[in-house]
Amino acid sequence: QVQLVESGGGLVQAGGSLRLSCAVSGSIFRLVNTGWYRQGSGKQREVVATITTTDITYYADSVKGRFTISRDNAKNTMFLQMNGLKSEDTAVYYCALLGGRNVWGQGTQVTVSP
C-alpha cells in the first residue's frame, strides 16, 4: 500500500519561508502526477500546485511567484518551497498522488503569524 508522509510544517512569521517535503513509499511515484493541496479552517480543500511526471507545473494564482513545487524521482520525494508567506497561507497542507483516485498524505500544519 502506498503511503505519503509530509514534513516541514510549522509556525513562521509573515514574510518567512518553509519547505515542505513528502516522502512516498513504493515504486509508483515516478509514474504519476503529484500535487500539494491545502485546507484552511472552515474552508474547502484547494489546489496549491501540481507537477507532472515530465515536470510541467501549475500554481494557484494565490501562490504564483512565491511557492515552488519540485520532485525528486530518485528519492520518491516531492517538495514545496514556500517563500513570502502570508497569514492567508495558514492551513493544513497535503501532498497527493493524482489519478482516478487521489492518494493523500496525512497533512502538515502551516501557521503564519502576522
pLDDT per position as a tens digit, 26-69:
889 999 999 999 999 999 999 999 999 999 999 999 999 999 99
**What's phi and psi for 18, nearest 5 deg?**
-140, 155
Partnered with residue 6 across adjacent β-strands are 22
Handedness of CA 105, 102, 61, 69 (dihedral sign): positive
Residue 22 has a pLDDT of 98
Instruction: Quickly state the pLDDT bin for 77 (edges 50, 70, 90).
Output: very high
